[in-house]
Chain A
Amino acid sequence: MSVPAELRYTAEHEWVSIAGETATIGITDFAATSLGDVVYVSLPAVGATVGADDPCGEVESYKSVSELYCPVDGEVTEVNEELNDDPALINAEPYGLGWMFRVRLAPGAAEATGLLTAAEYEELITSAG
Chain B
Amino acid sequence: MTSTVRDTPLRGVHERLGATMTDFAGWLMPLRYEGETAEHQAVRNSAALFDLSHMGEIAVTGPGAGAALDYAVVGWPSKLAVGGARYTMLCAPDGGILDDLIIYRQADERFLVVANAANTAVVLAELVDRCSADAVVTDETLDTGLISIQGPDAVGRLAALTDVPVDGMRYYSGAYGSVAGRPAWVARTGYTGEDGFEIFCANEDCEPIWDALAVDGLPAAGLAARDTLRLEAGMPLYGNELGPDLTPYEAGLGRVVRLDKPGDFVGRAALAARSAAGPQRVLIGLEVQSRRVPRHGYPVVAGPTPAEATQVGVVTSGGPSPSLGQPIAMAYVTPDAGDGPFYIDVRGRAEAASVTALPFYNRKKA
Binding site for B on A (CB under 8 A): 33, 36-37, 39-40, 42, 58, 60-63, 65, 88, 91
* In contact, B293 and A65 (Cβ under 8 angstroms): yes
* In contact, A37 and B293 (Cβ under 8 angstroms): no
* B53 contacts A by Cβ under 8 Å: no
Please measure, in the bound complex, the distance between the C-alpha atom of A36 and the C-alpha atom of B18, giving whole angstroms.
13
Please measure, in the bound complex, the distance between the C-alpha atom of A62 and the C-alpha atom of B295, giving whole angstroms.
10
Across the two chains, which residue of chain B brings its CB closest to A65?
Answer: B293
Minimum CB–CB distance for B304 against chain A, Å: 26
* In contact, A63 and B31 (Cβ under 8 angstroms): yes
Contact for A62 among B292, B319, B347, CB less than 8 A? B319
* In contact, B291 and A39 (Cβ under 8 angstroms): yes
Tell me the residues in window 66-93 of chain B with beta carbons closer than 8 Å to chain A beta carbons. Answer: none
Please measure, in the bound complex, the distance between the C-alpha atom of A40 and the C-alpha atom of B295, giving whole angstroms.
14
A37 to chain B: which residues have CB within 8 Å?
32, 35-38
Contact for A40 among B31, B227, B228, B293, CB less than 8 A? B293
Closest 5 CB pairs of A and B: A39-B320, A40-B291, A37-B35, A62-B36, A37-B36
Known: A39-B291, A40-B292. A62 touches B228 (CB 8 A): yes
* In contact, B36 and A36 (Cβ under 8 angstroms): yes
Tell me the residues in window 31-52 of chain B with beta carbons closer than 8 Å to chain A beta carbons. Answer: 31-32, 35-38
* B235 contacts A by Cβ under 8 Å: no
Minimum CB–CB distance for B14 against chain A, Å: 15
* In contact, A39 and B293 (Cβ under 8 angstroms): yes
B289 to chain A: which residues have CB within 8 Å?
none
* In contact, B31 and A36 (Cβ under 8 angstroms): yes
Q: Give B271-312 as 1s and 0s: 1 = Cβ < 8 Å from A's Cβ atoms.
A: 000000000000000000001110100000000000000000
* B20 contacts A by Cβ under 8 Å: yes
A88 to chain B: which residues have CB within 8 Å?
35, 37
Please measure, in the bound complex, the distance between the C-alpha atom of A33 and the C-alpha atom of B32, giving whole angstroms.
10
Please measure, in the bound complex, the distance between the C-alpha atom of A61 and the C-alpha atom of B322, giving whole angstroms.
12
* In contact, A65 and B36 (Cβ under 8 angstroms): no
B28 to chain A: which residues have CB within 8 Å?
none
Please measure, in the bound complex, the distance between the C-alpha atom of A61 and the C-alpha atom of B292, giving whole angstroms.
10
B319 to chain A: which residues have CB within 8 Å?
62
Please measure, in the bound complex, the distance between the C-alpha atom of A85 and the C-alpha atom of B31, giving whole angstroms.
25
* In contact, A60 and B293 (Cβ under 8 angstroms): yes
A33 to chain B: which residues have CB within 8 Å?
20
Can you list 30 A-B contacts (CB < 8 A)? A33-B20, A36-B20, A36-B31, A36-B32, A36-B35, A36-B36, A36-B224, A37-B32, A37-B35, A37-B37, A39-B291, A39-B320, A40-B291, A40-B292, A58-B292, A58-B347, A60-B291, A60-B292, A60-B293, A60-B320, A61-B36, A62-B32, A62-B224, A62-B228, A62-B319, A62-B320, A63-B224, A65-B295, A65-B347, A88-B37
Across the two chains, which residue of chain A brings its CB closest to B319?
Answer: A62
Minimum CB–CB distance for B143 against chain A, Å: 31
* In contact, B293 and A91 (Cβ under 8 angstroms): no
* In contact, A42 and B292 (Cβ under 8 angstroms): yes
B228 to chain A: which residues have CB within 8 Å?
62
Please measure, in the bound complex, the distance between the C-alpha atom of A37 and the C-alpha atom of B228, giving whole angstroms.
13
Other A-B pairs beyond A36-B32, A37-B38, A62-B320, 15, CB < 8 Å: A36-B31, A36-B35, A36-B36, A36-B224, A39-B37, A39-B293, A39-B320, A40-B291, A42-B292, A58-B292, A61-B36, A62-B36, A65-B293, A65-B295, A91-B35
A60 to chain B: which residues have CB within 8 Å?
291-293, 320
B32 to chain A: which residues have CB within 8 Å?
36-37, 62
Minimum CB–CB distance for A40 against chain B, Å: 4
Please measure, in the bound complex, the distance between the C-alpha atom of A42 and the C-alpha atom of B35, giving whole angstroms.
21
Please measure, in the bound complex, the distance between the C-alpha atom of A58 and the C-alpha atom of B291, giving whole angstroms.
11
B36 to chain A: which residues have CB within 8 Å?
36-37, 61-62
Tell me the residues in window 306-345 of chain B with beta carbons closer than 8 Å to chain A beta carbons. Answer: 319-320
Minimum CB–CB distance for B217 against chain A, Å: 19
Across the two chains, which residue of chain B brings its CB closest to A34?
Answer: B20
Query: Among the interface residues B32, B35, B224, which one has the most CB atoms of the partner chain A within 10 A?
Result: B35
Across the two chains, which residue of chain B brings its CB closest to A87?
Answer: B291
